[in-house]
Amino acid sequence: MQTVNRHLLGLENVSADDIRLLLESATQMMEIAERDVKKVPTLRGRTVINLFMEDSTRTRISFEIAAKRLSADSINMSASGSSVSKGETLADTARNLAAMSPDAIVIRHPAAGSARLLAEILDCPIVNAGDGSHEHPTQALLDLLTISQHKKQFEGLTVTIVGDIVHSRVVRSNIYGLQTLGANVRLCGPPTLLTSEFAELGCELFFDLATAVRDADVIMMLRIQRERQGDNYFPTLDEYAHYFCLTEEVLADAKSDVIILHPGPMNRGIEISSGVADGPYSVMMNQVSNGVAMRMAVLYQLILPGDQGIRGSDLADKHVDPVLKVAGETGVF
Ligand code: CP
């Protein structure tokens, strides 16, 4: 069994150098998608298990395509159809998967801390593909890649993130990644979905959409996560859309070279109008394409030991958090 112990659990403790390394690596991977035969032998003979205990379209498919383009064997597993339905714990499931000698396990799970739990009990590299409301590092990395393709530098850039901030793992990973690279992060949403903990992370908080998007270089819209909201955080979706939907009218006051990101899945007419989602400032489909290249870069850097990678990267996140409490959700440890 491979004993390399490198993981990507979040961006909280990943250095600017390692983020830049992944951006460079992903940029090199993009060329493979332009070829007639979209495959290189880099990870031939390696096995990647995609353990998805929560629904996903973009992340799961792009990890699978990424592994295949690098010639790794990728195995997909979801909660339905597995022995999780018979009461097996996540730790036992993971130990059994590890006994089959994978070279990396990619995990999406509704519980914050689930990726870290696997990293603590298994030897192979673990990639967090979204753990509850905690972090979604590969999403933020592909967002950074997309921004880097449109803006000269991160230093001094103003990025406004709007929506269901408190339940968003995408926002946490983006805050860490953007701030590490020198960008200013503005957050906007109703006070029930944008709590004061985010000011402590060094973000500027806005409760008015028009003010938040004015002078922004990048606007990232987030979905209202009904599945994570135990209580009502606003009266109705119509009322939320009235105040926080990004429309062409709101965008009229934004910078002329602004770009609009959305991690998906989007709810048209709630957080973003179709005119904006499909309009000239939207780079949402670029994000999806970049997701494959970035996940190729992550698998490559984590699986290939030491100097076989583009550079001996140290993405290991060794810091162990206490019990994670995010938006009222208790982590698995
Ligand atoms: N952005 C994202 O994580 O999308 P999926 O839930 O479809 O993977």
What is the per-residue pLDDT across 182-206, written as a single tens digit (0 to 9) for each?
Answer: 999 999 999 999 999 999 999 999 9
Structure confidence at residue 120 (pLDDT): 94
Evaluate: CB of 225 within 6 angstroms of ligand 1: no
pLDDT of residue 58: 98
Candidates 50, 54, 57: which one to mutate for ligand 1, based on the most atoms within 8 Å of Cβ? Answer: 57
More confident: 196 or 320 = 196
| pLDDT average, residue stretch 95-117 | 96
Model confidence at 305, pLDDT cuts 50, 70, 90, reads low
Bridge partner residues of 105 (DSSP): 49, 126
Token pair in block for residue 152: 């000269």
Give the ligand 1 atom nearest the CA of 129: 3
Contact call for residues 137 and 173 (beta carbons, < 8 A): yes
Contact in structure between 113 and 319 (CB atoms under 8 Å): no
- Report the residue count for the chain: 333
Which of 50, 131, 139 for mutating ligand 1's site (highest number of atoms within 8 Å of CB)? 139
Which atom of ligand 1 lies nearest, measured to the CA of 57?
7
| Protein residue with its CA nearest to atom 4 in ligand 1 | 58
- If you measure from the C-alpha of residue 68 to the centroid of ligand 1, how many angstroms do you get, rounded to a whole number? 19
- Give pLDDT, residue 103: 97
Is the pLDDT score of 325 beyond 50?
Answer: no
d(CA 103, CA 92): 18
